[in-house]
Amino acid sequence: MTQAERRIQLIQRLSAEQPRYKGIQIPSEETEQKRLLRALLNLRPPQAACADFLKVQDEYLREEIASKGITDLSALSPIAKDIYLWQGDITTLRCDAIVNAANAGLLGCFCPCHGCIDNAIHTYAGIQLRLECAEIMEKQGYAEPVGRAKLTKAYNLPCKYVLHTVGPIVSGKLTQQDCDLLASCYRSCLELAEREDIRSIAFCCISTGEFHFPNERAAEIAIKTVRDYQAQTNSKLEVIFNVFKDFDYEIYRRLLG
């Protein structure tokens, strides 16, 4: 089965699940088909799917990720001891774990084709990730607190695990509490990774963008928290600071020397 055939089949099956999308017209252009499929994946509630659907979805997503180009940690050079700086799409990074900047519901972004990292990670991991997160949240029984971390499988992503953390939302002037909570996100992920015998972890720029944390201050907190953790615990965990935008890359490069 070709990628185009898989994509059309997935669109048909996802749209058939929801009465309001039944009979949806599938665009002829590949780019528009991909947007429609992503939107349907984003909107799908956390629920199980049959093995046949998962087989087609998994084959499709893995080929899509491979076509973007997978970067292996072994191909990167450290910028400091056990610290790396890498600019790229975190869904294409092969390491032990990547960090997702999640929301308090922990179910991923339901906004179709939104540009946040939460949307991208859930899209390319596949529908299994939202279901696992829903099971975690049902067992927990309350919204995920800011500054904590949860571990899930990565499913179709090249990494092994995803660490989900909810960063502080900055409204108005940045406060010390905002800074402390952001530091807690990084430390919670590091501690959880160590407990789970994870050897490498890639951090996105938590709380920047949609959550309005100033980029430079966020980078300062991220780097300080990681370095303090390394010094205090003698950790051998390899840490990748992943950035997507040029100005974030320049900030981290300057701060890391």
Please, what's the b/e burial string for 195-228 (b: 16 or more CB within 10 A of its CB; e: otherwise)?
eeebebbbbbbbbbbbbebebbbbbebbbebbee
Q: Which of 203, 183, 181 is closest to 193 using CA atoms?
A: 203
At residue 103, the pLDDT reads 96
At residue 146, the pLDDT reads 98
Reported as half-sphere exposure (CB side, CA atoms, 13 A), residue 99 has a value of 30
Task: Give the type of residue at 251.
Answer: I
At residue 76, the pLDDT reads 97
- Cα separation, 200 vs 190, in Å, equals 10
DSSP-derived letter for residue 172 is S
At residue 257, the pLDDT reads 86
At residue 18, the pLDDT reads 86
Within the chain, which residues score under 70 in pLDDT? Answer: none
Helix H segments across the chain?
Answer: 3-17, 30-43, 51-68, 117-125, 127-140, 176-195, 215-233, 246-256
pTM over 0.85: yes
Give me the chain's average pLDDT, please: 96
Is 87:244 a contact under the CB 8 Å cutoff? yes
Strand partners, 153: 161
Cβ neighbours of residue 230 closer than 8 Å, sequence gap 6 or more:
81, 82, 237
At residue 204, the pLDDT reads 97
DSSP state letters, 127-171: HHHHHHHHHHHHHH-SPPPTT--EEEE-TTSSSSEEEEEEPPPP-
173-221 tens-digit pLDDT: 999 999 999 999 999 999 999 999 999 999 999 999 888 999 999 999 9
At residue 152, the pLDDT reads 98
